[in-house]
Structure 1
């Protein structure tokens, strides 16, 4: 600040005019603040930078003051909000940790359950394998018995099980083939692992390929067990059907076959047994085996019995020229009883035994000429007469189809032919009854 001599009014007016020409803050030179008191005029020069600095400091002070005041006013709320947010974050982390622990426990429990389930499946599968092997031995024996009786099951009845293409390391053999070839009993060396091997490679997660493969093999084994039962049912049905057919036809000709079981309490009964009656399940394997064996045994007995019944023709493809019953006697021209049937044949044609038996006549017998008579048991006999040649001896045992002589014209005969009779005791029976029965049973004989 400096004291200057007062200017003249003209100078002051010029200065005021110049000041009004430019607004404050636009001047390049320093600002002057003029104080006038009476005739005394005082001016103060102010630097613009100083003015800006002072204004900035005042603004900064105002901002700091307002911020501090606001902080002090809202401090408790801000601290509470921060603590609440921190608590929420902590709870979220704790919940996440608890969820992870729960997931770990669940996975661990699932692994334990899977391990136990795998071992149970493996034990059941091995037990089923052993059962399948044991059953296969029994089924094979029944199949062999059925085959000896001429029973063959078509592949449409018992289909051959097809192993799954994905089970290369778990092949299961021993199924019942369509043509009932005796299958080899299953061996313990099949591709299924042992308990120790399988448990060492137990699955780590539920539904793993190992567990699914066990399920597939178990399903395949169950199918084979079912097919074994189906094969036994089919065998039993076939044997029962054939046996019933035999008995029905034989009953029509008055032949009744006795059962082979000894009477209860008889002296020959060396297998006396007892105990309460406990019925078997109609679909159980043991019952199926029993039914099949009983049916095949019954069929075997009937088939063996029919070998002693003259159901076959004594001459193959020979026509009957004279039937059983009343006819005109070829020598006397009067009605007479023809006690047999005549087969056309040239001299020397082969004559066969029509059933198993023992030769009781082998020689010349009056008007019958050269005659062979066979005793088949049950008082049943067959007679072959007018033979040109006899090929057996008295007391000799013969079987079905065995040659006993040749066609001729010996005895009371008008030409080469075979006179054939069947007798029960001393009574003659029409041979056509037996031959017709044999024709009906042709595919079973």
Structure 2
């Protein structure tokens, strides 16, 4: 009987200890496949199998393909699981920006792993992104690096080397900008380090890190002299190498867009990102106002050059393009205020507006120039222009008489004088409009 009990105990012991240990890992990513996580976990499972470790990791990956939860909400979900002490996952992959947020829930790896293992990692990286509250709570899985891209064509054109410091960048950029603007290349931007995405604020931290005193120096404190000098240098770059458009785009980084959930009954939920920040709204209003002023000025110039023979069709095509842009812009504004329950329809309509602006403008301003000579012969063109000139001359006479009458009736007071000046400007514009060149 004792032998039977011992045999049963041994069998249960063998069954228990021969069972493979399964660990569950959780990760979320903006990528659609998360290939980096899969390769990492698959590599470990293969290593464990080859070395008989009896350990297997199951990866639970959240991407845009299998979830409608945003990255921000994913981080909140992880914190909720940790706070409730759920044992659903054993390993978490997370962005280092959430290290302090998760710190109180994570184990201290200093007391659970041998010193030799910890020393395999770069101590500077561990101290800056993996430690909090005197605890080592994580190890770096991947490191992201951003590079400064240079226009090699322009550098070669002006016999310049790739800049290695910010001062060299300013010196080289200013010289190339001045020479290119002399050649009427006014669209060139000397430095565009303000990334127009929700995590674009990281570029400022990267700039601060690049201005530290030495390679071994840690990330500078925000109230340190190094940070102050770095911000002055960034301001110098903005003033001397960047443009107004880059500045406005940078204002969008002052606060991320809000996330609005669109709940669809018996359908697919989705999210949109409305702008609710006052600073960003003001910057958008300023940009729209600036563009409206440009449109008004262009419209006045078109009106003045309406009957010039050499640009007879050009001004009309430009005016048609302005009409299309105005209608498309109004449509785009309406779409932003109308709640559409289908994300496919919502994004399709916005894309259609953008495509319409691009395609129609291209056809009106460029494409039609290729087929216009075939559609209208020179004789027909001259006949049409002649008729328009005749009509415009008649209108000019009538309008001039009206203007003269108005001027003669209002000549003898200060108020009359200002009115006369206004009429004079108006008359000149009308004269330019009806002149036959």
**TM-score category of the 2 structures, normalised to the smaller one:** under 0.3
TM-score, length basis structure 2: 0.21
Which is richer in strand? 1
TM-score, length basis structure 1: 0.21
Which is richer in helix? 2
Q: Which has the higher contact order (CA 8 A, sep 6+)?
A: 1
Q: For the pair shown, which has the larger CA radius of gyration, 1 or 2? A: 1
